[in-house]
Structures are given as structure tokens and as C-alpha cells.
Amino acid sequence: MESQTKILIIYTGGTIGMVKDAKTGVLKPFQFENLMKMIPSLAMLNYQIDSHCFDPLIDSSNMDPVYWAGLVDIIEKKYEGYDGFVVLHGSDTMSYTASALSFMLQNLNKPVIFTGSQLPLGMVRSDGRENLVTAIEIAAATEDETPLVPEVCIYFENQLFRGNRTHKFNAENFEAFRSPNYPVLADAGVYIKYNRNAIHKPNFKKLKANKKLDTNIAILKLFPGISEKVVSSILHIPDLKAVIMESYGAGNAPDSDWFVNLIADAIEKGIIVLNLSQCQGGSVMMGKYETSIKLLDIGVVGAYDMTTEAAVAKLMYLLGNSSDKREIEKKLQKPIAGELTITN
């Protein structure tokens, strides 16, 4: 007899499990047992579904690298005992957490599917029921006894995405996430149609959980009129090791002397400057326009088509595991978990 599929749901918090406080009308989390009661149809899946709840449950605005390490720890400890994992997480920072886990869970050969909802399960029109049920189905899906999606994903409103390619782009629509630079991994309609060519293949190596992260990074978002004192104060943050410079278009930035000199001084001091475009779609191509040639010359590193969310997580992960600037810069420009596409 085939053994029963085992899925672990890790409930971190977020809208999916919230109820309205009768007195204040404010949304607050409720306990997981209630969440299971809301979806009696889960029993029809005939899987063994266990749960692990964060205590306290958190709104994902409070997510941070300590919680990421906690999540990795739970998955590492439970890895052998389960066929797949579903992480219930607030949508606000879901892309950051999914990105972080894609780097921290090396040699992942089982599905880790993040989901949540825009409306609490307790509400009649909640999107949470479908999101949760399908996420569980995807986490359990196999072919030739091998998981179909052995990677960290986000499932939301009928679409499965590679987690480190996503971005939350809508605060109201049920369709809250986009993956502007990588195809959807599966579409869930009457059938769940997997885009097999886009999904990681399992490597059958042993899972290596890496919980070392370094948060000494900053984001410098450019805008017309940004002043020298703003740029300078960011680049002079004590202990700063890396800056994500959110530039324009294909990686362009002002070519005024004060700006270029500040960036060059920071790089000389040992700070990594990662050039990432404010455009959601497309890739950084330094050198395409005159306004980015100088950046290339002074040692700015291009992020290709990475999302800000993936870049934040990747930098924390790389800085946590090495102090060799060159090595980190090299790794930033190569995919570790399918987070970027090399275009040139």
C-alpha cells in the first residue's frame, strides 16, 4: 500500500488567519485549529496534514531575518518527515521571505509553497480557501515518486511563481503578485498545469540549511533631485557593507561628479554597490547608455533582472557567509536559486 502523503503547514500569521475584533473592528490573528475548521474540505484530500504555528502569530510587516532563520530551522528539522511544506504568511513581505528561503535552503528537493490571502478566511469572499487548498495540492504533487515542484514558490490567485522572482504589486486585488522576469510555474484552473521547463529539477543532494545572514545593507533609491547629503548619509552608515542602488531604466544614474565620486569612494572603502533597476521588467545593462558607463568603470555591480526583494535576501545571505568582496560580487552576478537571468 502506498504511504500517505504528508504535508506540514507552517502558519506564521497574516491576513489569512485573521478575525475582526468585535469591539475595535481591527484585524487580529486567531489560532490554527480555527483555520482548519474553516476549510472542512481539506479532509477530502486524504493527506496527513500537520501544522506548526508561530507563537505569537505575526503580521508579515514584522518579519525579519531572525524569523527567516526560525522558519529554515523548522523545515530542516521536519524535512525528512514530510513530502512538502506550505507556509502561510502575510502577503506584504512574502516575496522577501520566499527569496531568503530560496538561498538559505540549499539543495532543496521538496516543495516549500508560500501562500496567504487578501481577505481573512473568516470572510465569505475570502481568497484564502482556494489559495490554501491548491498550495497543499501543489506541495503534494509528484511524478515518478519525485516532487513536481522542488523549490520555494508563492501560490496566489491561481498562479504558482518562483518565490525569488516575485513582487507584491497590488494591495487590493486577489491577484497580488507578479513575476515580471520569469514565467509562471503553474496555472491552476480546472487542472493544475505545470510549466515543467521553468521548474527546478531535483538534484537529490542532502539539504543544507544555512542560517547565517548579515543585515548591514541599505537601499538607495534614486529620484530626480536627490541631494548630495541624502546619498552621502546613506553611503556613510556605520558598518555598511552593501548598497542596492535602485537606478533608472537599464541601470542608469546621474553622471554628475558629486554623485559618481560618492559612489566611487564607497566602493573604494569596500562597500558593494549593486545596481538594480526601478523598472519591474527587464534587466540592468550598464554601458548601454553613457549615464551608466561611469558606474561600470568605478566597480558598480549589475543585478541583471533581480527583484529588490531577491537582492535584499541574496546580499544578506552572501554577506553572512563570506567577507571576500570579490567573491560576493561574483556570486551576485550568477544565479544561486534561479533568481536572475544572465542576458549579456
Catalytic residue numbers read 15
Residue 283 lies near ligand ASP (rule: CB under 6 A): no
The C-alpha cell 533609491 sits at 221
- Partnered with residue 233 across adjacent β-strands are none
Which range binds ligand ASP by CB under 6 A, 57-65, 100-108, 242-250, 273-281? 57-65
As measured in angstroms, the least distance from the Cβ of 14 to ligand ASP is 3
Distance from C-alpha of 232 to C-alpha of 269, rounded to nearest angstrom: 13
Instruction: Give how far Cα 77 sits from Cα of 58, 202, 326, Å.
Output: 21, 20, 34
Site for ligand ASP in 11-30 (CB under 6 A): 14-15
Residue 97 lies near ligand ASP (rule: CB under 6 A): no
Distance from C-alpha of 217 to C-alpha of 194, rounded to nearest angstrom: 36
Q: Which is nearer to ligand ASP, 18 or 253 (CB)?
A: 18
Which range binds ligand ASP by CB under 6 A, 56-64, 78-86, 226-234, 257-265? 56-64
Instruction: Give how far Cα 177 sits from Cα of 4, 163, 277, Å.
Output: 32, 10, 18
Q: Which is nearer to ligand ASP, 64 or 265 (CB)?
A: 64
Q: Which residues of 82-102 are buried (b: 16+ CB within 10 A; e: fewer)?
A: bbbbbbbbbbbbbbbbbbbbb
Q: Which is nearer to ligand ASP, 90 or 147 (CB)?
A: 90
Distance from C-alpha of 182 to C-alpha of 257, rounded to nearest angstrom: 36
CB atoms within 10 A of CB 109: 18
Distance from C-alpha of 334 to C-alpha of 342, rounded to nearest angstrom: 7
Q: Which is nearer to ligand ASP, 63 or 105 (CB)?
A: 63
- 3-state secondary structure labels for all residues of 17-64: HEEECCCCCCEEECCHHHHHHHCHHHHHHCCEEEEEECCCCCCHHHCC
Q: Which is nearer to ligand ASP, 27 or 230 (CB)?
A: 27
As measured in angstroms, the least distance from the Cβ of 166 to ligand ASP is 13
Which range binds ligand ASP by CB under 6 A, 36-44, 67-75, 80-88, 90-98? 90-98
List 10, 38, 53, 60, residue binding ligand ASP (CB under 6 A): 60
Distance from C-alpha of 196 to C-alpha of 179, rounded to nearest angstrom: 16
As measured in angstroms, the least distance from the Cβ of 244 to ligand ASP is 22
Cell numbers at 255, concatenated: 553622471
Residue 92 lies near ligand ASP (rule: CB under 6 A): yes
List 84, 90, 128, 147, residue binding ligand ASP (CB under 6 A): 90
Which range binds ligand ASP by CB under 6 A, 87-95, 104-112, 244-252, 276-284? 87-95
As measured in angstroms, the least distance from the Cβ of 111 to ligand ASP is 21
Under 8 Å between Cβ of 137 and 98: no
List 116, 147, 150, 302, residue binding ligand ASP (CB under 6 A): 116
Distance from C-alpha of 64 to C-alpha of 90, rounded to nearest angstrom: 13
List 91, 275, 292, 308, residue binding ligand ASP (CB under 6 A): 91
Residue 130 lies near ligand ASP (rule: CB under 6 A): no
Residue 59 lies near ligand ASP (rule: CB under 6 A): yes
Interface residues toward ligand ASP, by CB under 6 A: 14-15, 59-61, 90-92, 116
